Structure 1
Amino acid sequence: RKVNGKEVQILTSMTDPLRFPAADIVDLYSHRWEIELGYREMKQSLLGNRLTLRSRTPEMVFQELWGTLLAYNLIRFQMARMAYSLEAVHPNQLSFHQAAHWIIKELTVLPWVSPGRVPGVIQSMLEMAPAFVLPERRERSYPRSVRRRPQKYPTKRNASQR
């Protein structure tokens, strides 16, 4: 299948071309990649690259995971509002790491803001959106290649190479 003039090959077990057209599979693969990036954002930004969760019991691990997912979705919701306040910017074109830290900082001071000023704080979040727009994403392609294995011993040179 060609996408943007480039040949794209995806290995899949969905072989029925009527039920699973190639164009749909390629489109879904790009969405899957965005989901993988979301997992990375949660692990790196929200969990701080920790290898393990802090909780010790299964119930608390469950609660911690739900809390992380809830925080991620709330931050993404605010980022979507910020992106839609701009013209022609999609929510995944905003830097999650920078926006998340800024949104969390703004929300932590919200309890000390008088109730009448809360809408202004929320509006200031929307006005900050241009600061988090990422540069245009590059299309990358890493075709598979067979690499030579490193040799244990030096190769024997023939008389012409001496």
Structure 2
Amino acid sequence: MEMHSFPMAKIGVIFSLVTGAVIAMCIDVMNTHDIKLARKLYSFLKPNDVLLGDRAFCAYADMVAIQQLDCDAVFRKHQSRTTTMRKGKIVGDCDKLVTWCKPKKCPKGLSKDEFLALPASITVREIYYYIVIPGFRTQRVSLIATLLDTTTYPTLEIVGLYGKRWDVELDLRHLKTTLEMDVLRCKTPSMIRKEIHVYLLAYNLLRSLMWSAGTTYNTPPDRLSLQGTRHHLINFIPKLEAADSKKRLRLYRTMLKIIAHKAVPDRPARNEPRVRKRRSKAYPLMTKSRQKLRKQLQTA
């Protein structure tokens, strides 16, 4: 049987933890590894940035590359690294400085010159803690960080910082679900890229409005509703277009006040079942081209 499927792209994105806005993005084919996308995004980092990521990005070469950019990283420890907390210098409760040695073989994705340029060893900070919240699958989490100064970066602050990494999942959900970017309409790769960039422009516009509203009316911008901001903006656009410059400024300030009026309550440790509410229709999946399906209808 000849199978036909829709083309799929893989997107790598860096979000700002403060504003929720998209800082950088790259697009590649679906079977591209996450770490390959990440390495394309490192050039967008600025000195003193702290990059949060899950275990897929916790590689020796990447820790070195991020430090060479005068940045720091907090990643979850990769499951293939079997080093224990028995060795290393104790710097706090469940907190140690450990030494990582350079891999013996050149990892995939690195050239021989890049591999030879890696230092023989690096010192990283390993922190582990336990999660006892119902609904969370992971019980023990091990973090690897390049933030070695325990006075400036206490253990609990790093743990709390990594806990905010989940915000990126919510930001991606806003892009795919709230703004409906999960299904793209264009047909060619170049137009698909343009369509994705337009979605990101709209997303960053909403985030900028949330930031302006929050900072103007002393409300945490990350507690404002992106969907609510979208609805208010859509309602105000006709009025803003018809108003003169003075009235437009008043309308803009009114819109910011309405956006900041009702903040989303902080709901720590909230968990929801991973189920679908809407029932899909009972039609079979499309596994052939429309031309072949039409012929089957004609011969039936």
Report the TM-score when normalising by structure 2. Answer: 0.39
Match of 1:157 in 2: none
Cross-structure match for 1:119? 249
- State the alpha-carbon separation in 1 of the partners of residues 147 and 245 from structure 2: 57
Aligned AA for 2:242? Answer: W
Q: Which residue in the other structure is 1:33 paired with?
A: 166
Between the aligned partners of 1:104 and 1:24, the Cα distance in structure 2 is 39
Contact 2:186 2:195 in 1 (8 A): yes
Between the aligned partners of 1:40 and 1:52, the Cα distance in structure 2 is 13
The answer for unaligned runs of 5 or more in structure 1 is 143-162
For the structure 1 residues 58 and 19, does the alpha-carbon distance in structure 2 shift closer, same or farther, using more than 3 Å as the test? farther
CA distance in 2, matches of 1:16, 1:122: 43
What amino acid is aligned across from residue 163 of structure 2 in structure 1?
A: S
**Residue from 62, 76, 85 that aligns with 2:193:** 62
Note if 1:82 corresponds to 2:216.
no
Tell me by how many angstroms 1:92 deviates: 1.2
What is the match of residue 202 of structure 2? 71
SS of the equivalent of 1:10 reads strand
Which of 102, 107, 110 is the aligned partner of 2:237? 107
Q: CA RMSD in A?
A: 3.1
Q: CA deviation at 1:18?
A: 4.2
Displacement of 1:112 in angstroms is 2.2
Structure 2 distance, partners of 1:44, 1:140, is: 19
Change (3 A) 1:106 1:16: closer
Residues 228 and 259 in structure 2, CA contact (< 8 A), matched pair in contact too:
no
Residue 114 (structure 1) shift: 2.3
> Helix, strand or coil: the match of 1:128?
helix
Quote the Cα distance in structure 2 between the aligned partners of 1:81 and 1:97: 16
Q: CA deviation at 1:108?
A: 4.7
- The structural deviation recorded for 1:16 is 7.6
Matched residue, 1:149: none
CA apart distance, 1:19? 8.3
Q: Does 1:133 align with 2:263?
A: yes
Deviations 1:132-152 (A, max 9, x none): 31123233479xxxxxxxxxx
Deviates more, 1:70-79 or 1:127-136: 127-136
Bigger Cα displacement from structure 2, 115-124 vs 55-64:
115-124
**1:146 matched residue in structure 2:** none
**Which residue in 1 is equivalent to 2:298?**
none
Distance of 1:98 and 1:52 partners within structure 2: 22
Q: Which stretches in structure 2 are left out of the alignment for 5+ residues?
A: 1-92, 95-128, 132-139, 273-300
What amino acid maps onto 1:52 in structure 2?
A: V
Report the CA distance between 1:46 and its aligned residue.
1.2
- The Cα offsets for residues 39-67 of structure 1, whole Å up to 9 and x where unpaired, read as 111112211xx642011111111011111
Name the % identity. 27
Note closer, same or farther for the CA distance 1:116–1:30 as it changes in structure 2 (3 Å cut): same
State the 1:95 CA deviation.
1.3
1:107 Cα deviation from its structure 2 partner = 2.7
Report what 2:228 is aligned to: 98
Relative to 1, partners in 2 of residues 1:120 and 1:93: Cα closer, same or farther, differing over 3 Å? same
Q: Runs of at least 4 residues of structure 1 off by over 6 A?
A: none
TM (norm. structure 1) is 0.67
Which residue of the partner structure matches residue 155 of structure 1?
none
C-alpha distance after superposition, 1:66-90 (max 9, x if no partner): 1111111111011111111223x21
